[in-house]
Amino acid sequence: MAALGYQAPPRTTLADRLVPPMPDGPGVTPAVVAPSALLLRAGVQLPASLWNWLCRWSGWIGPLLVALFGGLLRFWNLGSPGAIIFDETYYAKDAYALWQGGYETSWPDSANTQIIQPHQVIPYQVDPAFVVHPPVGKWIIGMGEQLFGMHPFGWRFMVAVLGTLSILMIARIGRRLFRSTLLGCVAGLLLSVDGLHFVMSRTSLLDLIVMFWILAAFGFLLLDRDRTRGRIAARLAELPDTALAHTMRLGLRPYRLAAGVCVGLACSTKWSGMYVAAFFGLLTVFWDLGARKLAGARRPYWTTLVRDGLPAFASIVLVSLVVYVSSWSGWLASSTVPGKGGYGRDWAVGRHGLSTEFVSLPLLGKVKMPFQVDMTWVPGGLRALWHYHAQMYNFNIGLSTPHLYQSNPWSWLVLGRPVSFYYESPHQGQSGCKATQCASEVLAIGTPLLWWAGVVALVYCLYRWALRRDWRAGAVLCGLGAGLLPWFEYQHRTIFLFYAVAFVPFIVLAVTMLVGAMIGPATASHERRLAGGAAAGLLVLAVVWNFLYFYPLYTGQVIPMDDWRSRMWFTSWI
């Protein structure tokens, strides 16, 4: 068989199958590393101590450099356009009100003009306003306003910080997921140059903040997976143990609790985070199932259900619920005097409590309850909060007012209908226009080549997950499903492409996995690796070029109208 080119797969220990070793880092990288043959051929020879240090810490140095690159892109001229663009008109002002009084307030119609004018006037007033999104994202936006003032740079600052941190996070997540520092850095670079992530990092909307907490939760679950499997490996000998795998308790899992907190913060920014709790809760249970199978459990499904299901539910769902209710503390602490506290805060004053007569359930619609229960014993603040949420829910599911830039989730992955956040068409001599007519636009659209490659990569991930049982592909698809699939239930609702920023990291991870497959395994021939690496490099360079080509549309630069038209590849983009 060897003469025919067959090589037996390398034998791995049970510990390595539970927790594959990381590629580099303290405790993994040898104290002395051989010099790089590539650098030597280029005539570069670093001091041995420096080279050893770089190799040992490359798992942090590479991601930090990529995050620095992405951060510079996002913070460069962050205050431009110097205007309140798209839904910043809601969140910038709501954020300011939260930091002033603990709840959102109404603003006069002239507020935008007064805030942006050279001699700024902030017409803050205490009249409560009805809002349809929880407060955490607006609290975060308000931090920048407190630091830098009620100006475009101020209300975009914290979103740009989270956008930059998410690049570092995905680089580290990709490194852990694929056990490759190179692929981790590729993931960070691709996220840096995704147009939708870039635009949303420079706009004070809530969706980038939702994405940040979802990605953070996913990263903590990865850490929990490795930590838990490491503990299992430490308790087993070199062979599976049926009895131990069945009775073993996995102990306190702080990383999974941290993931629950992050899911709660995502829900406390927008309700779309609720679906993440369900998807990620199932994901961590299936990971435990796989670990118990490897450990030798005779009835792994039953064992996982009994021993791991309830702790997973408590860690993800219950923890996120506690975080969500806590996020409303400013509203709950506001006055119950009518007109002096948050919207609806006085609703339960002097009112007997009674459970709802109808509930709205996914797929089933409005369902009548068989009986009602006296709920007067529940504190008035919580009853008022429940009533407020019923109003918010009815608004959100009933929002069907036509909008010029609305889109259907079926078209999101191929960028069917992007959203124009800002547009002006100055003539020659205006705003730096040097042509007869110019355009200045902020267009919320992903980097097309990256997203279209992402469609191919997702098909590859489906193959790897369904036919090769690759858990990494399943994890990527789970994150994508959590961000995309729930929106198909609300196709009647007015929804937009920029909601898709919540699952952009998982498109990037799918493309990164495809890049790794293109490069080939370490056991492949030199020629195969060289050809695959060249193809993968060309793909990444094409994505970077595509981002630079659309960069003027991401930043609102004034360009000749002909240049703007050349970037409108489809009529649905106009």
DSSP code string of 331-344: HHTS--STTTSSTT
* Cα–Cα distance, 220 to 280 (Å, whole number): 11
- Residues near 352 by Cβ (< 8 Å), separated by ≥ 6? 374, 376
* Cα–Cα distance, 570 to 574 (Å, whole number): 8
**If pLDDT is split at 50, 70 and 90, which confidence band does 506 have?**
very high
**Average pLDDT over the chain, rounded to an integer:** 91
pLDDT value for 27 = 75
pLDDT per position as a tens digit, 191-204:
999 999 999 999 99
Which whole number is the average pLDDT over 12-41?
Answer: 80
| Angle at alpha carbon of residue 259, lines to 257 and 265, rounded to 5° | 110
- Residues near 31 by Cβ (< 8 Å), separated by ≥ 6? 52
* Cα–Cα distance, 336 to 4 (Å, whole number): 82
In 10 A of CB 85, how many CB atoms? 21
Percent of the chain's residues with pLDDT above 90: 69
- Of 210, 213, 198, 211, whose CA–CA distance to 260 is shortest? 213
Question: How many Å is the maximal CA-CA distance in the chain?
Answer: 88
Which whole number is the average pLDDT over 49-56?
Answer: 86
Q: Which tokens in the block code for residue 39?
A: 């650098």
- Residues near 466 by Cβ (< 8 Å), separated by ≥ 6? none
Q: What is the DSSP letter of 257?
A: H
The answer, yes or no, to whether residue 2 has pLDDT greater than 60, is: no
* Cα–Cα distance, 238 to 256 (Å, whole number): 27
- DSSP-based three-state secondary structure for 154: helix
* Cα–Cα distance, 168 to 60 (Å, whole number): 9
Distance of CA 103 to the CA centre of its chain: 26
Which whole number is the average pLDDT over 340-351?
Answer: 87
pLDDT value for 541 = 98
Q: Kindly provide the b/e burial profile for residues 400-428, where b requires at least 16 CB atoms within 10 angstroms of the residue's own CB.
A: eeeeebebebeebbebebbbbbbeeebee
Distance of CA 90 to the CA centre of its chain: 22
Q: Which tokens in the block code for residue 72?
A: 């510079």
The torsion of the CA quartet 104, 275, 256, 458, rounded to 10 degrees, works out to: -120
Which whole number is the average pLDDT over 324-339?
Answer: 92
* Least trusted range by pLDDT, from 263-267, 279-283, 288-292, 516-520: 288-292
- DSSP-based three-state secondary structure for 523: coil
pLDDT value for 355 = 66
φ and ψ at residue 424, rounded to 5 degrees: -140, 150
The answer, yes or no, to whether residue 3 has pLDDT greater than 50, is: no
- Residues near 518 by Cβ (< 8 Å), separated by ≥ 6? 532, 533, 535, 536, 539
pLDDT value for 47 = 86
The answer, yes or no, to whether residue 15 has pLDDT greater than 60, is: yes
pLDDT value for 298 = 83
**Of 124-128, 322-326, 360-364, 382-386, where does the model show the most confidence?**
322-326
- DSSP-based three-state secondary structure for 437: strand
Strand order in the sheet with 419-424: 419-424, 438-444, 558-560
Q: Are 500 and 481 in contact (CB under 8 A)?
A: no
Q: Which tokens in the block code for residue 132?
A: 């349809």
pLDDT value for 367 = 75
More confident residue, 29 or 83: 83
The answer, yes or no, to whether residue 39 has pLDDT greater than 70, is: yes
* Least trusted range by pLDDT, from 50-54, 273-277, 506-510: 50-54
Residue 494 burial by Cβ neighbours in a 10 Å radius (0-12, 13-18, 19+):
middle
Distance of CA 63 to the CA centre of its chain: 17
* Cα–Cα distance, 270 to 496 (Å, whole number): 14
The answer, yes or no, to whether residue 395 has pLDDT greater than 90, is: no
Which whole number is the average pLDDT over 539-564?
Answer: 97
Helical (H) or strand (E) element with 200: helix 195-201
Which whole number is the average pLDDT over 516-522?
Answer: 92
Q: Which tokens in the block code for residue 202?
A: 């420079």
Instruction: Verify cis geometry, omega within 30 degrees of 0, for the bond prior to 81.
Output: yes
* Cα–Cα distance, 324 to 265 (Å, whole number): 7
- Of 568, 563, 549, 476, whose CA–CA distance to 195 is shortest? 549
**If pLDDT is split at 50, 70 and 90, which confidence band does 31 have?**
confident
- DSSP-based three-state secondary structure for 128: strand
The answer, yes or no, to whether residue 509 has pLDDT greater than 80, is: yes
* Cα–Cα distance, 38 to 34 (Å, whole number): 12
pLDDT value for 477 = 98
Number of H helices, E strands in the chain: 24, 5
Which whole number is the average pLDDT over 482-492?
Answer: 91
* Least trusted range by pLDDT, from 210-219, 282-291, 377-386: 377-386
Q: Are 117 and 127 in contact (CB under 8 A)?
A: no
